[in-house]
Structure 1
Amino acid sequence: MRNITLKSTLYILVVISAIAWFTLAYFGGLDLSKVDDFFGLIPKVVTIDLLVVAVFVKWGWKLKIFRGWLVPFPDLNGSWIGFIYSDWKNPKTGEKPLPIPVMLTVKQSFFHIHCMMLTSEMESSSYSEGFLIEPDRQIKTLAYSYSSKSRLSLNERSIPHDGTAVFKIIEKPKQKLVGRYWTERLTKGEIALEHHAKEILDELPEELGEHPVTEDENRR
């Protein structure tokens, strides 16, 4: 897949350069058969190429027309909401929690992606991220490693830790991220998310409800 997109990128740059060369020569009244006229356009053509690349890297890569053949990965920018299904057991009750409301926010550019996961009790921030995209094998995956920390008052039962999350990317019929995670605390679980908004939200939507462990403790 990487080889395909690299070839596509090179072909497009060659076409853009050729169009720029002939257009500048036409409107400048130049004869490209002359060495001085031909090579004299190099600085201008390079400038046009760089401008086109800059626009593409900033905005163009998000357009669906480029998806697959030029841009191998999807645009995941925005806020995703759903639930964590954890095998963690509450040390006070020895029971697994009910599904935990969660939000994943994704900030993505052409060269980088950062993920922040939030529940009402903790937040985790990614520090190593990557896509595995293999259309022929029907594989579309986002994976990242993260550091997680809970509210200070909860450190006794939820200590800071690192972990890894791997999501299958589902684009049709609805955008979803479905995957699993595991941590150095030897806990693991599944996560199911749906795309909620293009903007980055600062806190969980109220309709998701409270963290089930917090809710149980508040009842006591």
Structure 2
Amino acid sequence: MVTIDLLIVAAFVKWGWKFSIFRGWLVPFPNLNGTWTGFIYSDWKNPKTCEKPAPIPVMLTVNQSFFHISCMMFTSEMESISYSEGFLIDPERQIKNVSYSYTSKPRLSLNERSIPHDGTAVFKIIEKPKQKLVGRYWTERLTKGEIVLQYHSKELLEELPENLGEHPVTEDENRR
């Protein structure tokens, strides 16, 4: 009997929690697994031009299980990896957020204007009418901004889709 119970629990933890029938009463958080794409709207100012960049194409991959969630964010200039993640779900107050702290590692060739740093991102989870993550971020470099992402696919992509476009700062530097 105990073996059957353990098998049922193991199957639920591995696969069952993802079924929408369990959402709300047994599983309080949504399944965010997959790749999300969109744009960062940053208040960072380019030291050469003193201007904010145009929206920055970005991709977020979420690897989630019943007990854990990890996030990796990519632009063409950096990747960031989460190290502390969590949900804030409170249906009574209509709150459905995911947040994480991260370490960002820009490409080495950009160290002059973009140093490695830590930061935090907080996203409102929107499930209807379309899946979106809309949030804000701030860093120890004293930069902040907004991020808007739409669900792209179940697959965890390893590089930015080409149709997202180039990083606006890289693009500006390549024109000179």
Counterpart in 2 of 1:50? Answer: 6
1:116, 1:202 → 2: CA distance? 10
Structure 2, unpaired ranges of 5+:
none
**CA drift at 1:46:** 1.1
Say which SS state the counterpart of residue 12 (structure 2) adopts. Answer: helix
Q: Which residue identity is paired with 1:206?
A: E
Between Structure 1 and Structure 2, the one with more helix by share is 1
Once the two structures are superposed, the pairs formed by residues 59-138 of structure 1 within 5 Å of their partners are: 59-138=15-94
1:212 aligns with 2:154: no
Q: Take 1:103 and 1:135, find their aligned partners in 2: how far apart are those partners? A: 28
Q: Give the structure with higher Rg (CA).
A: 1
Equivalents in 1 of 2:55, 2:44: separation in Å? 11
> 2:149 matched to 1:165?
no
1:63-117 Cα offsets, whole Å, 9 max, x none, are 0000010000000000000000000000111000000000000000000000000
SS in 1 for 2:158: coil
- Distance in structure 1 (CA, Å) of the matches to 2:52 and 2:119: 19
Query: Any idea what SS the aligned residue of 1:98 has?
Result: coil
Higher relative contact order (CA 8 A, sep 6+): 2
C-alpha offsets along residues 146-189 of structure 1, whole Å, 9 cap, x if unaligned?
00010000011000000000000000000000000000000000
CA distance in 2, matches of 1:209, 1:177: 20
Aligned residue number for residue 186 of structure 1: 142
Q: Deviations over 1:15-38 (max 9, x none)?
A: xxxxxxxxxxxxxxxxxxxxxxxx
CA distance in 2, matches of 1:69, 1:188: 35
- Quote the residue 2:101 is aligned against: 145
Tell me how many residue pairs correspond in the alignment.
176
Question: Over aligned residues, Cα RMSD in angstroms?
Answer: 0.4
Whichever residue aligns with residue 75 of structure 2, its letter is T
1:47, distance to aligned residue in structure 2 (A): 1.0
Instruction: Give the letter aligned to residue 147 of structure 2.
Output: I
Structure number with higher strand proportion: 2
Q: Distance in 2 between matches of 1:63 and 1:155?
A: 44
- Segments of 4+ in structure 1 off by > 3 A? none
CA distance in 1, matches of 2:82, 2:91: 25
Superposition TM-score, scaled by structure 1 size: 0.80
